[in-house]
Structures are given as structure tokens and as C-alpha cells.
């Protein structure tokens, strides 16, 4: 039985970032990932840093700004491109929603410009003539999400962290309300601190601690085309995203099969030229297969924005399971019931953009006992009822 | 959504034999194939627009294929053919996603037989991407069913009897062959000969081919392999070398040939994209082509109602493919309750007796010509491994060095496998190279995750 | 080496027609794939790759490897070995992956 400062469970963007920022503070970190690094949601997303569609503008803006200089700090190129992002409107009814969103964002320091349809097409003639207008955020960016994870992991290792893949944490043990150890499929490791960064799979580990961890897997699907010549606007968003992403009630009530599947367009084109066409939101349990109905809706919606895609070939598709918390916001906090447990999950669609700030805040929690950002709205305690019980050492 | 009792994916010998057997038992069948005509690879028929001056000249396989196609045609009521149909997805509940006439459709079947065959194993070595370097299967298709010679002066390199058949076809078509290079040693061949003599006609065919080569003055060189090809914009030189027991080249034994075409026959890789997508259990067997689906004595995979047959579940040749197809057809009919267990087993036992007779030969052949992974040392750091994304061995090695020991992980780090061919030309190389260099094993390395679409499809197929 | 490499017999071809390759007229027959026409007419190189500009041609010949991609009647990235020649077809050999010219719509 080995003794270690902090065990991080989960090798996605959050876990790898936490491992890095903790190691920066000379904390001895051991990370366990049951498959490979970035093998789940972290490799099934657009790599988009969407400032425009955030539910947590303060967190998002702070974190997005951390990307500047991150590549040289990590000494790892994760293919960051400041493409800007452009939210397109195809219906008049979307305008009030989009304008309100723009206002809300600028109150938090995220600058968004409104463009007419004509102005959008002057920038990029490939945009559909049916587009009425857009809101554009020049700070938006795209990255290679897997490489971000590898970047954090590499840098963490260089600072002394031990990252074990193909090692599954089966159970987290607490005793008298304090973290005692983690039980992996390769043995038990004593520790005083555990950071849970297991995304949609967190409830499973929470159960063993008698904790209700309120996240559900929310699937997103992406179609990938063959490479194209690079377009002028390479990060396009559907204004309906503001509905399908966050308005569960509207989704539930809708008669439109597309809205019911949570399909609204996100189109990104990283520098290798493939268009990533998405996305969707449904709750299929832990099923991460692609589905025909969603693929159809995703394809049909996409040509409303970029008609040229109707000639594209889809060369592969992917699906990932985002962790969706009860209120759609991340959970970055300690847990009153168990000393030494930190939860860093629920980033739902912003896992990549939130990874730097989450890593930093968790490192602050561990080393200083408090965070530099006032983020009570991301605390675990905001959920009730919460099961409380004391775990007896087994 | 169309429904059918039995959907058979693949119109080659296994699929068509299954169709005939099932149709005889009253099953209504749809056979799906991407090509315009049935026959798969070995029974590939010339395009229907061509005339045939002398059928005898097309060879035994054409005739056998034609006979099987005639049997299929005799069951017009029971067997429907969906040619030019791409099976691209599986979404559970025995629902196959297809593209037909440019539109995406679902075919729901009660029972499915997957008989999707194989393709030439891609073997990376310096110069392998040059125009003029072909897979043996490709050369066969061009000669037999398109009537075109893709070159004038050939080197054939590989392992196994397929090369001899291709050499024969090339000579008949008027091509010049500088050498046929065979990886296994004469000693090994002689050791296996007693077992191979269980199929004396096939051995005799082999001897006939060898005699023909001798007659044409074509050297047949054992224990050698191709090690590189070169040329400015197309191949004009091929170099071979002697190889050891592990198929690694022996320095100082190089021999160079002036050529304008190279034909590679280093084995076949089973198409398992669909069986993996259906979540059938697979295991790894190098001698049978790599990852193959598991099946029971009824040819049923680990997923009830999904059968497999033919080279697609292990490379053992056309004769076994036919019998396995028949077995699958019988038990698909049994699952459909069109016949009872006793009837099924009675017919099946006759087929099984045939299979047993073929098994020993097929097993000996696979063992004899089993690829030895030492041949993968041919690839240099600058050698392209992923042809689509132009990822060289250096990048793959970096990923392995960074700790990747899973094919998917290597793909994420290097982009290998992210191109049009969806990893068909590189995954087996990555697996074998990582096995050697990361000291990993196939179970850990696994394969590229199978996802719909298993072949590129037009986005337009989803539009109204 | 532009010698016609078609094999005479046992395949019997019908009446020849014309397609164009990079604008040049080339003979083709019904039943032939574009790959066949190109190989028969001495066009060995089908395309150059997007990143390294390396020459590629037919490799697997059965529609698996996607190396034999050509532009056919303005539609890029078609497998030459799986596309059949028809009278008047225009084949362009491409560099990389060429985007379809949407201005014609």
C-alpha cells in the first residue's frame, strides 16, 4: 500500500488538467484512468471553445484567457486557432434570444458583435443566402482536444505526477467522514485527497460513498467529412443552440423531431480541413453509439448554414457522453460530508474550455483550502436533498 | 423501412451459397453487395457490357462463379439482389443501414449473415505508395474482369498460392514477370506437403503454375521478400532480399530488378468492420488474417441471429467459404422456424463432413503461409504508414513512445486511421508494429473502434 | 509509355467512345471503370496527395483504399476503380482533395 498526496480519478481533460496544476504546486499526484487518456468525451468533441454559448460566463472567460500562452507553458502544441465563432440566425424569432445572449455576455466582458446576413456573406460567401444575421465573438477558438489532454498529462508527468492508464478505480473508501483510500483493479492506494474527474461516470463512484452525484450522461454526435479547402468562417453555431442546449422544457415540449433530439448545428473546421458537423443532445444512458435519426437531423440542419456541405462525404462519425448536472452547470467543490473529496465534473459541453480553470481552482482547494474565484454556484452543496451517511471502513 | 427474413451482406461465394441454401428451405433473402455484379472477389464477373469470346479462357473460378450465380438465379422468387448497395451502418435490432440510389435506407432483417470477405493486406515498405505498386487482388480484378494490364514488367512478391494464380493470369495476358518472390522457405513447404496432399487437386494446380513459370523462365524465389521500390513518379525498380525465419531481411542479399509494376500478395485481411459494429466477439489469429469474429458450430456469431461465413471470419479459401455459407443458410432457416432442429442438423452434418475434409488442408495452408511480423521492420521512419493522412512511422513511434499502446490511442495522437479508408490500410500495420515495439498484445492493442458509417457515405443521402 | 494495355480476348468490347482526361480526349468502352481507362491509356498517376504532393494510383483495386481518387464531371474524390466510364465523362486528376465548385449552382 502506497501513500500519495492526491489521487485523481479520470484521465480526460479535467483529470489531466487537475494533475498538471496540482503538480505545479509540488503536490504528489497519482492519476488513474480506466482506459486511455482522452478516450471518452474528451476525444468526441469539436475542440471548440465556445464563449458565446456558455452558461457560466465568468468561469468560461477566465478559463478561455488561460489558453493564451498555455501551449508554451506546457511545451505542447494543441493546435490552438483563434477562428472566432459566429452564431447564425435563420429565423426572425431567434433575434431577441440572440441579442439577449449577446447583452448577457458583454456584461461579463465577452464581446459579441451583431452582423447582418449581408455582412456575414461578405466575410464568407459560402454561408447560406437564407441566413438573416449573426452574432460574432472574435475570442472564440478551436483546439485539438486530445492534444490538450496529452499536453496536460505530459507536463504533469514531467513535474513528477504518475499517470496510470488501464487502471480502474473501483471504489473510493472513506472512514469517519474522511477519505482513506482508493481501491483500483491493481490494488489499494492510501490517500487523504481524491479528486473525482470522471465526468458522466461519476455517479458510479459516488454510490460507493453513499453520495448522490447528480450528473447524467448526455450524448452528442458529430459527423466528420473529408478534408475541404479552409473556409473563411470555421466555427459556426446555430442560434437554436440556445434552445437545445439549455432549455430542457422547450426540448421536451417541442413537436419538431430535430429539437426533440436536441439537434442544433455546430460546424467547425480545424486546419486539417475536415468539417466536424454536429451536434445533438439526448439522454441514452451510457450508450455512446451513433444513431441514424440524429445523423439525419444533424446533416439536414447543417446545410441550412453551409449549403456546400450537401456535396460532402461523411467519412466517420463519433459520439460522446457529456456529464450533465441537474442544473447544467459544473460542480467544482469540496464535499461537506467527506473530508478530502473534491468533485470536478459536470462541465457538459464546456469540458475543454473549462479544463484550465478547473485544474487551477482544484489546486487552490487542495493547497490553500479555498478558491480564488467566488464560485459557490458551482458547489456540490447547492444540490439537495443530498444523502448523508458515514462510510464504515470495509 | 423494408423488412426481410434473411439479409446477407456480401455477394461472394459464402454469401451466395448461403442464399441458395436458405432459399431452398423457403427463406426469403436479400443479398446486398456494393458492386454492380455479384461474385465478390474470387468469383468476380466481367462487366455486363462486355462480351466473352471464349469462356474457357476466363478460368475455372469464373466458371464456378457463373454456376453459383445460375443457382441463385433459379430462386428468383426467394432471392432478391440489391447490387450497388452499400451497407454502412448497424443500429441494433438487426437494422442495417444501407445506401441505395443515393439515399439512406434501413433494412430490417430477422436474421443476418455477414459474409464480407477480405482485402489485400497492406504491407508498408519504402516506396510502397508509388504508382505501379498494386495489391494482388487489384491486379486480378484488372485482368480478369476489366481486361487491362496495369503494367508490362512485373515483380510479384508475397506469400501463398494466390500469387501463382496471378502470375498465371499475367503471363496469359502477355505480361513479362521478372520474378515471383515467396516468403516461406522450401524446407517449410516440404514439411507441410503431406498435409497439403489432402487436397491433391489443389496441390496439382500449384505444381502446374510452378511448371508454367519455369517454362516462361520466370524465377520462383523462396525465402525472399520485397524490401523496397523506387522511382521518380512511378515505380521503376524493385529490390528483394533474403529473409530469415522471422521474415526479417538479411543484409547483403539484395537483388534489384527493373520493373514497371509490383504486385503484393502478403495475405488477406478479413473485413470485420460490420461484425465489430454489431458487437460480435472477436479474437485475434494471425494465421487467419488477424481479428476475426467468433462463431459456433452453426456459424452463428456471439450475437444471436447474426451469422458469419467465409474468409471474412478467417481466411481459409473459397471451398470452405461455400460450405460455411451453406451452414449459415441452414441455421438461419432453423432460427426462422422454417425447419426443425432435426432437419437442420441432418443437412448440416453433411456440410460439416465436407468442412472437416477441407479444414485440415486450409489449416495447413494458413499455418504454412502465416505472416511473420519481422517483415514490418522494412518500414523506415520516413515510410508512410497511414496512406490517407500521410502519417509516417516516425509519428507512430512517437505516439508509442508517449505511452500509447492501443490502436485507437495511436490514431488520436497521430491522425493515422482518420482518413477516407477508415484505417483499412494502416490499422493492421499499426497493430503489428506496436506489438513488436511496444511489446504489447492484440488484446490490449485492439483495433480501430467500429462506428457507423463503416464506409464513407454522401451527406446528401440524408437530405430529403 | 502510352501503349494501349488492353488485353485482347477473352473480353470483347463494344463500340469505343470518348471521355476526357485533364481535357484530353481518351478512348473508353462500356463496362470499363475510369481506373481501367486511365491505366489502359498510359495515365499511371491518378493524383498527388494533399500534404506531401506524392503521386498515387490504383492500389487495392477493389474500392477499399481510396487512393485512386479523381474528379469526375466536377465532383471530386470519386474512386476511379468503382466509377464506370460513360460517353463524354470529364475526368480531372487532382492535387489533394479538391472542393467542388459550388458557384455553378
Count how many pairs of residues, chain B against chain C, have C-beta atoms within 8 Å: 154
Interface test with A, best of B107, B387, B412 (most A CBs within 10 A): B412
**A333 CA to chain B: closest CA distance, Å?**
31
What are the residue ranges spanned by the domains of chain C?
16-95
Q: Taking the CB of residue B54, how many other CB atoms lie within 10 A of it?
A: 9
Residue A37: closest C-alpha in chain B: B409
Chains in contact with A, where contact requires at least 3 CB pairs less than 8 Å apart: B, C
Q: Across chain B, what does the average pLDDT equal?
A: 96
Instruction: Tell me, yes or no, if A232 comes closer than 8 A to chain C by beta carbon.
Output: no
Residue A168 CB neighbour total at 10 angstroms: 14
Question: Any CB–CB contact under 8 A between A224 and chain C?
Answer: no
State the distance between the two ends of chain A, measured CA to CA, in whole angstroms. 16
pLDDT of the residue at C105 = 37
Residues of chain C positioned with their CB less than 8 A from the CB of A273: 50, 97
Tell me how far apart the alpha carbons of residues B65 and A341 are, in angstroms, rounded to a whole number.
67
Helices (H), B293-422: 318-335, 341-368, 393-401, 407-414
CB atoms within 10 A of CB A236: 26
| CA distance, residue C97 to nearest chain A CA (Å) | 6
Q: With contacts defined as CB-CB under 8 Å, which chain B residues touch C39?
A: 142, 148-150
Res. A4 pLDDT band, cuts 50 70 90: confident
User: Across chain A, where does the E strand assignment appear?
Assistant: 2-9, 29-32, 48-49, 85-89, 113-116, 133-137, 141-142, 162-164, 169-175, 178-184, 187-196, 215-227, 235-238, 266-268, 274-278, 313-325, 331-335, 338-345
Q: Which of A224, A227, A314 is best to mutate for the C interface (most C CBs within 10 A)?
A: A227
Which pLDDT band holds residue A390 (cuts at 50, 70, 90)? very low
Q: pLDDT tens digits for A213-255?
A: 999 999 999 999 999 889 999 999 999 988 877 788 888 888 9
Q: What is C16-95's CATH number? A: 3.10.20.440
Q: Per-residue pLDDT averaged across A298-322, rounded?
A: 96
pLDDT score at C104: 37
What secondary structure letter does DSSP report for B449?
Answer: P
Q: Please give the residue that has the higher pLDDT: either C3 or B85.
A: B85
Lowest pLDDT segment from A56-65, A177-186, B274-283, C91-100: C91-100
Question: Residues of chain A with pLDDT > 70: what percent?
Answer: 96
Chain B residues touching residue A289 (CB < 8 angstroms) = 91-92, 451-452
Task: Give chain A's contact residues with B (Cβ, < 8 Å).
Answer: 35-39, 43, 146-147, 150, 154, 165-166, 223, 225-226, 272, 274, 277, 289-292, 295-296, 299-300, 302-303, 309-319
Please determine, for residue A365, whether its predicted confidence score (pLDDT) is greater than 90: yes
Give the containing element (helix H, strand E) for B239: strand B237-242
Nearest to B459 among A37, A310, A319 (CB): A310
Is B398 in CB contact (< 8 Å) with chain A?
no
The string of pLDDT tens digits covering residues B45-81 is 999 999 999 888 888 899 999 999 999 999 999 999 9
Has residue A388 got a pLDDT over 80?
no
In degrees, rounded to 5, the angle at the alpha carbon of residue C35 between the alpha carbons of residues B265 and B67 is 65
Q: Which of A106, A111, A143, A102 is nearest to A239 (CA)?
A: A102
Gap from A272 CA to chain C (nearest CA, Å): 10
Question: Helix B318-335 vs helix B13-24: angle between axes, to the nearest 10 degrees?
Answer: 40
- Pair type for strands A2-9 and B237-242: unpaired
pLDDT band at A352 (very low <50, low <70, confident <90, very high): very high
Residue (of A308, A305, A309) closest to A90 by Cα position: A305
With beta carbons under 8 A apart, name residues in chain A contacting C100: 308, 311
Q: What is the pLDDT of residues A99-128, one digit of tens each?
A: 999 999 999 998 899 999 999 999 999 999
A228 neighbourhood in chain C, CB within 8 Å: 97, 99
In sequence order, what are the residues at sequence separation of 6 or more whose Cβ sits closer than 8 angstroms to the Cβ of residue A295? A221, A223, A314, A317, B452, B462
Exposed e or buried b per residue across A354-377, where buried means at least 16 C-beta atoms within 10 angstroms of its C-beta:
bbbbbbbbbbbbbbeeebeeebee
CB B171 within 8 A of CB B215: no
In chain C, which residue's Cα lies nearest the Cα of B420? C66
At residue A393, does pLDDT exceed 50? no
Min Cα separation A148/chain B (Å): 11
CA dihedral (A37, A226, A258, B87) positive or negative: negative
Mutation target among C94, C96, C97 for the A interface, most CBs of A within 10 A: C97
C57 touches chain B (CB under 8 A): yes
- Residue to mutate among C15, C51, C59, with most B CBs inside 10 A, is C59
Do residues B41 and B139 touch, judged by C-beta distance below 8 A? Answer: no
Q: How confident is the model at residue B440 (pLDDT cuts 50, 70, 90)?
A: confident
- Which chains have 3+ CB pairs within 8 A of B? A, C
On whether any CB of chain C is under 8 Å from the CB of A307, the answer is yes
Assess whether pLDDT exceeds 80 at residue A375.
no
Confidence of residue C98 (pLDDT cuts 50, 70, 90): low
The pLDDT of residue B439: 84
Contact B91/A292, CB-based, under 8 Å? yes
Task: Report CB contact under 8 Å: B421, C66.
Answer: yes
CB contact (8 A) between residue A289 and residue B91: yes
| Span B231-247, pLDDT tens digits | 999 999 999 999 999 99
Q: B97 to chain A: which residues are within 8 Å by CB?
A: 292
Residue-wise DSSP of B115-181: ---EEEPP---TTTTSTTEEEHHHHHHHHHTT-B-S-SEEEEEESSTHHHHHHHHHHHTT-EEEEEE
CB contact under 8 A, C13 and B387: no
Q: Which residues of A touch B419 (CB under 8 A)?
A: 315
Average pLDDT over all residues of chain A: 92
Calculate how close chain C gets to A277, using CA atoms only, in Å. 17
pLDDT digits (tens, 9 = 90+) for B155-214: 999 999 999 999 999 999 999 999 999 999 999 999 999 999 988 998 999 999 999 999
Question: Least CB-CB distance to C99: which of A228, A307, A313?
Answer: A228
| pLDDT value of position C3 | 60
Q: Decide if A307 and C102 are in contact by the 8 Å CB cutoff.
A: yes
pLDDT higher than 70, residue A56: yes
Enter the C-alpha cell of residue A212. Answer: 448522490
Residue A135 CB partners (closer than 8 Å, separation 6+)? A52, A86, A87, A98, A99, A101, A102, A112, A113, A114, A115
Lowest mean pLDDT among A177-191, A236-250, B390-404: A236-250
Chain A residues close to C77, C-beta within 8 Å: 226, 313
- Note whether C50 contacts A273, CB cutoff 8 Å: yes
The pLDDT value given to residue B59: 84
pLDDT average, residue stretch A12-22: 98
CB proximity C49 to B under 8 Å: yes
Instruction: Name the β-bridge partners of B49.
Output: none
Cα separation, C102 vs A124, whole angstroms: 13
Q: Is B107 on the interface with A (CB under 8 A)?
A: no
Q: Is the pLDDT of residue A392 over 60?
A: no
CB contact under 8 A, C6 and B147: yes
Q: Is C41 on the interface with B (CB under 8 A)?
A: no
What's the rounded mean pLDDT across residues B372-382?
97
pLDDT band per the 50, 70, 90 thresholds, residue A387: very low
Please tell me whether residue B58 adopts helix, strand or coil conformation: helix
Q: Is it the case that residue C102 has pLDDT exceeding 80?
A: no
Amino acid at each position: 500500500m502506497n501513500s500519495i498526496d492526491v489521487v485523481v480519478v479520470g484521465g480526460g481533460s479535467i483529470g489531466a488538467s487537475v494533475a498538471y496544476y496540482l503538480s505545479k504546486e509540488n503536490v504528489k499526484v497519482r492519476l488513474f484512468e480506466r482506459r486511455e487518456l482522452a478516450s471518452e468525451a474528451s476525444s468526441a468533441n469539436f475542440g471548440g471553445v465556445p464563449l458565446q454559448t456558455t452558461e457560466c460566463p465568468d468561469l468560461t472567460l477566465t478559463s478561455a484567457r488561460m489558453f493564451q500562452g498555455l501551449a508554451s507553458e506546457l511545451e505542447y502544441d494543441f493546435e490552438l486557432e483563434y477562428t472566432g465563432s459566429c452564431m447564425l440566425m435563420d429565423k426572425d424569432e431567434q433575434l431577441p434570444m440572440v441579442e439577449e445572449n449577446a447583452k448577457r455576455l458583454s456584461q461579463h466582458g465577452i464581446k459579441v458583435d451583431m452582423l447582418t446576413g449581408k455582412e456575414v456573406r461578405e466575410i464568407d460567401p459560402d454561408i447560406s443566402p437564407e441566413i438573416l444575421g449573426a452574432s460574432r465573438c472574435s475570442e472564440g477558438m478551436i483546439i485539438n482536444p486530445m492534444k490538450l489532454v496529452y499536453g496536460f498529462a505530459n507536463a504533469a508527468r514531467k513535474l513528477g505526477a504518475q499517470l496510470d492508464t488501464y487502471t480502474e478505480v473501483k471504489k473510493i473508501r472513506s472512514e469517519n467522514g474522511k477519505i482513506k483510500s482508493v481501491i483500483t483493479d491493481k490494488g489499494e492506494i492510501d490517500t487523504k485527497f481524491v479528486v473525482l474527474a470522471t465526468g458522466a461516470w461519476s455517479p458510479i463512484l459516488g454510490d460507493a460513498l453513499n453520495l448522490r452525484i447528480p450528473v447524467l450522461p448526455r450524448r452528442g454526435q458529430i459527423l466528420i467529412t473529408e478534408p475541404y479547402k479552409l473556409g473563411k468562417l470555421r466555427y459556426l453555431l446555430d442560434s437554436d443552440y440556445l434552445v437545445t442546449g439549455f432549455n430542457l422544457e422547450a426540448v421536451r415540449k417541442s413537436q419538431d423531431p430535430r429539437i426533440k433530439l436536441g439537434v442544433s448545428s455546430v460546424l467547425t473546421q480545424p486546419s486539417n480541413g475536415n468539417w466536424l458537423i454536429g451536434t445533438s443532445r439526448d439522454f441514452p444512458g451510457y450508450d455512446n453509439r451513433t444513431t441514424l435519426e440524429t445523423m439525419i437531423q444533424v446533416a439536414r440542419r447543417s446545410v441550412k448554414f453551409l449549403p456546400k456541405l450537401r456535396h460532402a462525404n461523411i467519412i466517420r462519425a463519433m459520439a460522446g457522453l457529456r456529464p450533465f448536472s441537474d442544473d447544467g452547470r459544473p460542480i467544482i467543490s469540496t464535499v461537506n460530508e467527506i473530508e478530502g473529496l473534491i468533485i470536478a465534473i459536470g462541465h457538459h459541453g464546456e469540458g475543454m474550455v473549462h479544463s484550465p480553470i478547473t485544474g487551477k481552482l482544484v489546486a487552490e482547494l487542495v493547497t490553500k483550502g479555498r478558491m480564488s474565484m467566488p464560485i459557490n454556484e458551482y458547489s456540490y452543496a447547492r444540490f439537495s436533498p443530498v444523502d448523508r451517511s458515514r462510510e464504515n471502513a470495509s | 423501412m423494408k423488412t426481410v427474413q434473411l439479409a446477407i451482406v456480401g455477394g461472394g461465394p459464402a454469401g451466395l451459397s448461403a442464399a441458395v441454401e436458405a432459399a431452398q428451405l423457403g427463406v426469403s433473402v436479400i443479398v446486398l453487395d456494393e458492386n454492380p455484379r455479384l461474385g465478390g472477389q474470387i468469383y468476380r464477373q466481367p462487366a455486363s457490357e462486355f462480351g466473352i469470346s471464349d469462356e474457357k479462357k476466363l478460368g475455372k473460378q469464373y466458371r464456378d462463379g457463373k454456376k453459383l450465380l445460375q443457382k441463385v438465379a433459379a430462386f428468383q422468387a426467394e432471392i432478391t439482389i440489391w447490387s450497388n448497395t452499400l451497407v454502412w451502418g448497424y443500429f441494433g435490432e438487426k437494422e442495417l443501414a444501407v445506401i441505395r440510389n443515393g439515399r439512406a435506407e434501413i433494412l430490417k432483417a430477422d436474421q443476418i449473415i455477414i459474409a464480407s470477405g477480405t482485402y489485400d493486406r497492406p504491407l508498408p515498405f519504402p516506396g510502397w505508395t508509388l504508382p505501379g505498386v498494386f495489391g494482388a487482388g487489384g491486379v486480378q480484378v484488372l485482368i480478369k474482369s476489366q481486361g487491362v494490364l496495369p503494367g508490362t514488367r512485373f515483380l510479384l512478391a508475397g506469400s501463398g498460392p494466390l500469387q501463382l494464380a496471378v502470375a498465371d493470369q499475367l503471363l496469359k495476358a502477355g505480361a513479362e514477370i521478372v520474378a515471383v518472390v515467396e516468403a516461406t522457405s522450401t524446407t517449410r513447404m516440404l514439411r507441410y506437403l503431406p498435409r497439403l496432399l489432402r487436397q491433391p487437386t489443389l496441390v496439382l494446380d500449384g505444381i502446374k503454375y510452378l511448371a508454367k513459370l519455369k517454362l516462361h523462365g520466370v524465377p520462383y524465389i523462396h525465402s525472399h521478400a520485397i524490401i523496397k521500390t523506387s522511382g521518380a513518379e512511378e515505380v521503376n525498380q524493385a529490390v528483394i532480399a533474403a529473409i530469415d525465419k522471422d521474415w526479417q531481411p538479411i543484409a547483403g542479399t539484395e537483388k534489384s530488378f527493373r520493373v514497371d509494376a509490383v504486385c503484393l500478395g502478403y495475405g488477406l485481411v478479413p473485413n470485420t468492420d460490420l461484425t465489430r459494429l454489431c458487437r460480435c466477439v472477436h479474437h485475434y489469429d494471425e494465421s487467419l488474417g488477424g481479428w476475426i469474429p467468433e462463431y459456433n458450430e452453426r456459424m452463428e456469431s456471439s450475437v444471436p441471429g447474426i451469422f458469419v461465413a467465409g474468409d471474412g471470419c478467417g481466411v481459409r479459401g473459397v471451398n470452405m467459404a461455400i460450405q460455411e455459407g451453406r451452414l449459415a443458410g441452414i441455421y438461419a432457416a432453423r432460427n426462422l422456424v422454417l425447419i426443425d432442429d432435426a432437419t437442420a442438423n441432418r443437412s448440416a452434418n453433411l456440410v460439416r463432413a465436407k468442412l472437416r475434409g477441407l479444414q485440415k488442408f486450409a489449416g495447413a495452408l494458413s499455418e504454412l503461409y502465416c505472416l511473420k511480423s519481422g517483415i514490418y521492420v522494412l518500414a523506415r521512419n520516413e515510410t508512410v504508414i497511414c496512406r490517407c493522412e500521410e502519417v509516417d512511422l516516425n509519428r507512430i513511434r512517437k505516439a508509442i513512445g508517449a505511452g500509447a499502446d492501443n490502436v485507437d490511442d495511436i490514431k488520436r495522437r497521430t491522425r493515422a486511421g482518420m482518413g477516407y479508408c477508415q484505417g483499412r490500410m494502416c490499422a493492421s500495420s499499426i497493430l503489428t508494429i506496436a506489438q513488436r515495439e511496444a511489446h504489447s498484445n492484440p488484446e490490449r492493442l485492439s483495433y480501430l473502434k467500429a462506428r457507423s458509417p463503416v464506409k464513407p457515405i454522401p451527406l446528401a443521402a440524408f437530405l430529403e | 509509355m502510352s501503349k494501349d494495355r488492353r488485353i485482347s480476348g477473352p473480353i470483347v468490347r463494344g463500340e469505343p467512345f470518348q471521355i476526357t482526361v485533364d481535357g484530353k480526349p481518351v478512348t473508353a468502352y462500356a463496362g470499363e471503370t475510369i481506373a481501367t481507362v486511365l491505366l489502359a491509356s498510359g495515365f499511371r498517376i491518378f493524383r498527388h496527395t494533399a500534404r506531401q504532393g506524392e503521386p498515387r494510383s490504383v492500389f487495392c483495386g477493389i474500392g477499399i483504399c481510396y487512393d485512386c481518387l479523381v474528379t469526375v464531371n466536377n465532383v471530386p474524390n470519386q474512386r476511379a476503380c468503382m466509377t464506370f466510364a460513360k460517353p463524354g465523362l470529364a475526368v480531372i486528376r487532382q492535387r489533394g482533395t479538391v472542393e467542388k465548385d459550388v458557384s455553378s449552382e
